[in-house]
Amino acid sequence: MKAINPATNELIKDYDEHDESAVKDILKKVDNEFKSWRNTDFAHRSKLMNKAAEILKKNKDDYARTMAMEMGKPVAEARAEVEKCAWVCEYYAENAEKFLADMEIETDASRSFVAFQPLGTVLAIMPWNFPFWQVFRFAAPALMAGNTGVLKHASNVPGSALKIEEVFQEAGFPENAFRTLLIGSSKVEAVIKDERVKAVTLTGSEPAGMKVAAVSGSVLKKTVLELGGSDPYIVLEDADMPACVQTAVKARMINNGQSCIAAKRFIVVKSKLKEFEEAQTNIMKNLKVGDPLDEDTQAGPMARQDLLDELHEQVMQSVEKGAKVLTGGEPMDSEGAFYPPTILTNCKRGMKVVDEETFGPVSAIIPVKDAEEAITVANDSDLGLGGAVWSQDVEKAIEVARRVETGNMFVNGMTKSDPRLPFGGVKKSGYGRELSVFGIREFVNIKTVWVG
């Protein structure tokens, strides 16, 4: 299992994979740990989770460097990611007991209530684009609920996976409360089917989600799936354009554009089209692209060369179909997997940059005549993860937000995850929710207790 620096194509380290015997041994140990971990009290769990937050903050430079080297994230963004992981640990350390307290319900019984009890070992199948955050937003609530966890991380970020395991162990969690499995995708099905695994959460592609759901369903195991997104960014005629455009660039370029909730389809009313195009192009073409370890870098390389090739094919097909390139559009002449910030306009259905998720620094601008057409275009997608709408008429924007078919909509802001708010999608963007009270209740037994 090789970790390769996408900025230089150089090998960072070659890791030994866990063989079948090692995998079974880890699952056995994690399952055994659950039997005692589930009986710990919230005060004890909170103490350890707050310690994990302290370790994250103390070592954020080291963890940020690991992420930058393994998948190309600008180190400044990586540092912010570690800080966000500390926040989610602190959030659940503070709130888990309240979220999982017995819920009294008045019925014909002398007493009736709902109890929330842990399920057991939860398998997390996580992607490379946010190597720490994607894991911690699962692990913090799962462990606080009394579950144990095993992580199958993306194969190109094994160093990040092992450092996360170390965080929990250094914080004082039992050695086998959270473990990393260094395995390839071909070995995941056997882990899902292992009787010691009680539930599965996956963040990843639509094909991966369908396969995990099918395998989990065959053995009747609960799943939460957070899949791709082709998020609409709706610009109405009364949008605050300076703020709208600045946020549009950030929303498209975060993590080098490799984010499921990055703004991807910019749906702009024609009265604002020229102003939006010129302003976004002026900013995007001047972003500093380079070494992700440089503090001034605003966009690093894509995580792998094959991902760059796929993105460029989407761009070329769309240009052949009539899209116009405003900036970028060709791979950069460099050793690493660098693709320039790119803007295409005159985009429409039938083009890959509209019909498919673009996982990289490419904006697709779609002109529309008004808010009604913007809603129609926004909903004309198989995906429904996040989105944004910009208007100084807040009530109108909220009405548009209600009508767009996504799991998250942001008014006059960019889509982002927040420990306090539920996160997830609809349609082919998956099901279930992470974060907030809703996320911690995904992997518990919601048990009714009735007393005569």
Residue 146's nearest CA partner among 46, 290, 18 is 46
B/e letters for 288-323, b = 16+ CB within 10 Å, e = fewer, are ebbbbbeeebbbbbbbbeebbebbbebbebbbebeb
Contact 82, 134 (CB under 8 A): no
Dihedrals phi, psi of 108, to nearest 5 degrees: -80, 0
Contact (Cβ atoms closer than 8 angstroms) between residue 268 and residue 305: no
Q: Which alpha helices (H) appear in 124-269, and where do they start and end? A: 133-144, 158-170, 188-193, 206-218, 241-253
Write out the two tokens for 234: 């709706």
DSSP lists the bridge partners of residue 363 as 343
Q: Could you tell me which residues come within 8 angstroms of residue 150 by beta carbon, excluding any fewer than 6 positions away?
A: 26, 27, 30, 121, 122, 123, 124, 178, 179, 180, 181, 191, 197
Contact 260, 228 (CB under 8 A): yes
CB atoms within 10 A of CB 74: 28
Q: What is the DSSP string of 280-327?
A: HHHHHTTS-B--TTSTT-SB---S-HHHHHHHHHHHHHHHHTT-EEEE
DSSP for residue 434: B
Which H helix or E strand runs over 389?
strand 388-390
Catalytic residue among 260, 277, 356, 357: 260
Count of C-beta atoms within a 10 Å radius of residue 243: 12
Name the residue type at position 158: P
- Amino acid identity of residue 35, one-letter, is K
Q: Return the axis-axis angle of helices 75-99 and 133-144, rounded to nearest 10°.
A: 20
Distance from the first to the final alpha carbon of the chain: 58
Q: Which helix (H) or strand (E) holds 400?
A: helix 394-403
* 97 belongs to the catalytic site: no
- 237 carries an active-site annotation: no
Task: Considering the candidates 226, 277, 356, 434, report the single residue annotated as catalytic.
Answer: 226
According to DSSP, the β-strands at 231-235 and 222-226 are unpaired
d(CA 280, CA 284) in angstroms, rounded, equals 6
Active-site residue list: 226, 260
